[in-house]
Structure 1
Amino acid sequence: MQELNIIAKSIEENLDVPRISSETNEPGFLGKVYIESYGCQMNFADSEVVTSILINKGYGTTSNIQDADTILLNTCAIRENAEQKIRHRLQTFKALKTKNPKVTIGILGCMAERLKTQLIEEEKLVDLVAGPDSYRDLPNLLDQIENGQKAINVFLSKEETYGDIEPVRLHTNGVSAFVSIMRGCDNMCSFCVVPFTRGRERSRDVASILNECEHLFEQGYREVNLLGQNVDSYRWIDPATKEIITFDKLIQLTAQINPDLRIRFSTSHPKDITNEVLHAMAAYPNICKNIHLPAQSGSNRILELMNRTYSREWYLDRISAIREILGPECGISHDIIAGFCTETDEDHRDTLDLLDSVVFDFGYMFTYSERPGTPAAKKLRDDVPDHIKSKRLQEIIDLQRKHSGIRNDQMIGKIQRVLVEGNSKKSDQHHFGKTDNNKVVVFKKGSETIGSYVDVKITSCTTGTLLGQLI
């Protein structure tokens, strides 16, 4: 059973379980690589691209860190806690390095891009640093590391999408898979480091996306999650016809692959999600009625300081459009930052009021963490005391827990189509799966198989999970 609704107080709760590759050991490989992924879904998808690149160049992979010739950590830099987690993890590698001085330790991803050579200078164990746009160069970088040499590539590209690389699926149950449709971000939210670590926005070509999704369906996958920092700004121009493919057109094309292939996506930006996208979702039963729409704050003053480029009123208008076009059962989740620079009690009350106005299904909530180099770090003072941040965060979490319970209660007695994803964590006599609106359902096993669709009547719930029985 998965508890997806109740939100971590810090990013660390998303980092506790290392994600590693499958075992391979074929003749002629150049060495065994062990990969751990941290942070957002995009990082996990990137690790699958990295694995594909290295395997195609003659490397093998291992799930046993003791057997590894190369250890790669794909990192997150969105909060200070995330980076500290990586630094603590590196310290555990000292014994490995002592035992085998030839083992290569590399840092990939956003933390690598943010700190660059500083990582090698501060973390003496680190041999390789590679940013999100330099993964094609990894085999060359690994070749450079000998006799104590270090290797680094943190060049940010305006074109790289890795669209021609078929990922090796690492973080999958064989039912649902990530498909990256774009990279980078052009939204300069004052608190966010992503534009500096992942570069400018660029969209992957439509044909490569559709081919990947079709291939996944042929392999038995029944759900794809289209990923981007801001999927609603997806825009690709066909070089032959000059036709402009926007996100609403893309999800329709993806949905047309097969009616048994579910389509999810993340993340939407409130300023960009259009009624055209919502109508496209409504037109196809296999486009899941679930939207992650980060709010960040309910205060107009704070939203302006955050450079979110929308108001509270605009956000609530988008919520109204979602409810009207997709119906009241559409799942809506959020991100909220507690204790942003200069946030007052009144600003905080505005956020609580926004939560009460919407009644979200679930959300991801954090205290503000100043990131060096961001506009907020340069122009604003992180002046809300930590104990006030923590108090406000707890109030937000408590309110969201209440709302998650309300939304789940509304499902009791209804029949839901559920995609079976695997055994419940608590009992191998039960399966779990997700509803169209992204709620986890646990039910006693029947004759169904993993990857199949079943109808389940919801009989009870917790704040994080629906319980039901097969129909």
Structure 2
Amino acid sequence: MTKKLYIQTLGCAMNERDSEHIIAELAQKESYKLTDNPKDADLILINTCSVREKPERKLFSEIGQFALHKKDGAKIGVCGCTASHLGSEIIKKSPHVDFVLGARNISKITQVLHTPKAVEVDIDYDDSTYVFASPQTMGIKALLNISIGCDKKCSYCIVPFTRGKEISIPQDLLLSEARKLAAQGVKELLLLGQNVNNYGVRFSVPHERVDFTTLLRNLSEIEGIARLRFTSPHPLHMNDEFLAEFARNKKICKAIHIPLQSGSSKILKAMKRGYSKEWYLDRVARLREFCAHEGVMDVGIGTDIIVGFPGESEADFEDTLEVVRAVEFDTMYSFIYSPRPHTSAYEIESSLLVDAEVAKDRLARLQNLHKEILAKKSQREIGKIVEVLIENHHTQEGWSEGRSDHNRLIRIVGFVGEIGQMVRVRITKAHGGSLSGEVV
């Protein structure tokens, strides 16, 4: 008998990929089918994030709501990073929860499903060679994990304590999965890892020496894969060989997410990021230099920024604004610093904490600056011809939508293309940060 699964995914693309694995495993091995109504579900899963404090607090509220409205006999499971972090405390606080499955233990989903009050949260567990079940249906874009865990010890980040040490997934498994995805119609791959360009630093099985640049070259040779994207590279590992391959390889999309976190070298040192403001700006300049040499005059650059980190002065914040003005980021995820347990910043003396109102003001100023930059950059796009991979369309209204090589979302007016079709589009209008155009 087919059972129904409801899954709520919080957080990053890594969590999205973990949810895809869970869904495929349960569909193939336990006959579960997805539902978008938790009241109909036989199994309710919450795949959690613990990077910031709010999602963690929200978890127990969500559990309470699901427990109140679920049908008789339905199970509730908590997965992901908060599961790794809190473990058995989740069941103690919420007895309605039937099992807890950590982010490093996703391959055990069918095991914990049949083990009452199971708690599997071993961050040293290695499933880097586990071959997950394949999704029953695929679109034109797919996520592909190339590594698990993180060896960095950034002072604000809880991820190493929830996902364990960094292990790369063997290249032959990645190439095999990519070929399988291409055969199913996938045209664009998004490679995932906490520090993707540190790929190859450690394997848990005997393996040839291979780095991220080599992996990119090999994946780009797979027939049917038209585009490669990845997130997130670490600025510290952006060597010239990698930057040159990024610029040269036609299948690598010319959009890259490079986390900054702060523009102040003093704050970057306190964050234990391993690079300075000058290093970051040098890598961006070198990236653009390599791209220009290959005739690529436009690179989409995204970033992450934390404001209000302990000890951040107004001068430090001005350094961040200076970098934002210099780079002109295309996308920016910005947050106020949120203290997380187990991290070294959690123990920082209270005298260094930034006033909440000051932090809010800095975040608003940062985001307003970015909006101004985006509006100016969008105007510069008018008249350019770009290649767009169609991801969505509306027959009655007569438009299609998709992303350019530079990761800009573009609406194509007066054209209803096929999903997965690549079309050349001339940008005709800019609306704030959004773009529209027409087929050439």
Sort the TM-score into its range (normalised by shorter chain).
over 0.9
Which residue is 2:79 aligned to? 108
Report the TM-score, using the length of structure 1 for normalisation: 0.87
* Pair 1:292 & 2:262 matched: no
After superposition, give the CA deviation of every residue in 1:344-383 in whole Å (9 maximum; x if it has no partner): 1111111111111111111100110000111100234461
Q: Percent identity, aligned pairs only?
A: 36
Residues 333-342 or 81-90, more deviating: 81-90
After superposition, give the CA deviation of every residue in 1:258-314 in whole Å (9 maximum; x if it has no partner): 375200000011101122112112222111011100000011111111000100000
- The residue type equivalent to 1:126 in the other structure is V
- Residues 80 and 428 of structure 1, relative CA distance in 2, 3 Å threshold: farther
Mapping for residues 169-248 of structure 1, pairs under 5 Å: 174-235=139-200, 243-248=208-213
What is the CA distance between 1:195 and its match in structure 2? 0.3
Structure 2 counterpart SS, 1:373: coil
Match of 1:168 among 135, 145, 166: 135
Structure 1 counterpart SS, 2:26: helix
What is the CA distance between 1:242 and its match in structure 2? 5.7
For 1:404 and 1:161, locate their aligned partners in 2 and report how far apart those are by CA, in whole Å.
39
Which residue is 1:458 aligned to? 427
For 2:134 and 2:261, locate their aligned partners in 1 and report how far apart those are by CA, in whole Å.
32
Which residue is 1:386 aligned to? 356
What is the CA distance between 1:236 and its match in structure 2? 6.7
Which residue is 1:434 aligned to? 403
The gaps in structure 2 that reach 5 residues or longer are none
After superposition, give the CA deviation of every residue in 1:166-203 in whole Å (9 maximum; x if it has no partner): 44278x7x111111111110110000000000000000
Contact 1:175/1:223 (<8 A) preserved: yes
- The residue type equivalent to 1:410 in the other structure is R
Contact 1:457/1:468 (<8 A) preserved: yes
* Pair 1:318 & 2:283 matched: yes
Mapping for residues 326-405 of structure 1, pairs under 5 Å: 326-327=291-292, 328-381=297-350, 383-405=353-375
* Pair 1:408 & 2:378 matched: yes
Which residue is 2:92 aligned to? 121
* Pair 1:256 & 2:221 matched: yes
- Residues 316 and 163 of structure 1, relative CA distance in 2, 3 Å threshold: farther
- Residues 95 and 260 of structure 1, relative CA distance in 2, 3 Å threshold: closer
For 1:32 and 1:241, locate their aligned partners in 2 and report how far apart those are by CA, in whole Å.
40
- The residue type equivalent to 2:165 in the other structure is R
For 2:148 and 2:331, locate their aligned partners in 1 and report how far apart those are by CA, in whole Å.
25
* Pair 1:134 & 2:99 matched: no
Contact 2:220/2:251 (<8 A) preserved: yes
Contact 1:279/1:325 (<8 A) preserved: yes
- Residues 166 and 410 of structure 1, relative CA distance in 2, 3 Å threshold: farther
Question: Where has structure 1 moved over 6 Å in runs of 4 or more?
Answer: 236-241
For 1:296 and 1:240, locate their aligned partners in 2 and report how far apart those are by CA, in whole Å.
34
What is the CA distance between 1:444 and its match in structure 2? 1.8
Structure 1 counterpart SS, 2:381: coil
Contact 2:105/2:125 (<8 A) preserved: no
For 2:13 and 2:281, locate their aligned partners in 1 and report how far apart those are by CA, in whole Å.
26
After superposition, give the CA deviation of every residue in 1:83-137 in whole Å (9 maximum; x if it has no partner): 123222222113225x52x221110000000111111111232221110122232
For 2:55 and 2:267, locate their aligned partners in 1 and report how far apart those are by CA, in whole Å.
24
Contact 1:51/1:167 (<8 A) preserved: no
Residues 307-316 or 384-393, more deviating: 384-393
Mapping for residues 18-57 of structure 1, pairs under 5 Å: 27=1, 29=2, 31-57=3-29
Structure 1 counterpart SS, 2:46: strand
Match of 2:123 among 136, 142, 156: 156
What is the CA distance between 1:331 and its match in structure 2? 0.5
- The residue type equivalent to 1:376 in the other structure is A
- Residues 354 and 85 of structure 1, relative CA distance in 2, 3 Å threshold: same
- Residues 326 and 380 of structure 1, relative CA distance in 2, 3 Å threshold: farther
Structure 2 counterpart SS, 1:271: helix
Structure 1 counterpart SS, 2:104: coil
- The residue type equivalent to 2:373 in the other structure is H
Contact 1:37/1:47 (<8 A) preserved: yes
Supply the RMSD in Å over aligned alpha carbons. 2.1
Structure 2 counterpart SS, 1:34: strand
Contact 1:331/1:361 (<8 A) preserved: yes
Structure 1 counterpart SS, 2:219: helix
Contact 2:400/2:416 (<8 A) preserved: no
What is the CA distance between 1:257 and its match in structure 2? 0.8
For 1:215 and 1:164, locate their aligned partners in 2 and report how far apart those are by CA, in whole Å.
12
Contact 1:158/1:200 (<8 A) preserved: no
- The residue type equivalent to 1:84 in the other structure is R
- By relative contact order (CA 8 Å, sep 6+), the higher-ranking structure is 1
Contact 1:163/1:209 (<8 A) preserved: no
- Residues 167 and 364 of structure 1, relative CA distance in 2, 3 Å threshold: farther
- The residue type equivalent to 2:78 in the other structure is I
* Pair 1:60 & 2:32 matched: yes
Count of aligned positions: 434
After superposition, give the CA deviation of every residue in 1:385-418 in whole Å (9 maximum; x if it has no partner): 2111111000110111111222222221110011
Match of 1:96 among 69, 81, 84: 69
Report the TM-score, using the length of structure 2 for normalisation: 0.93
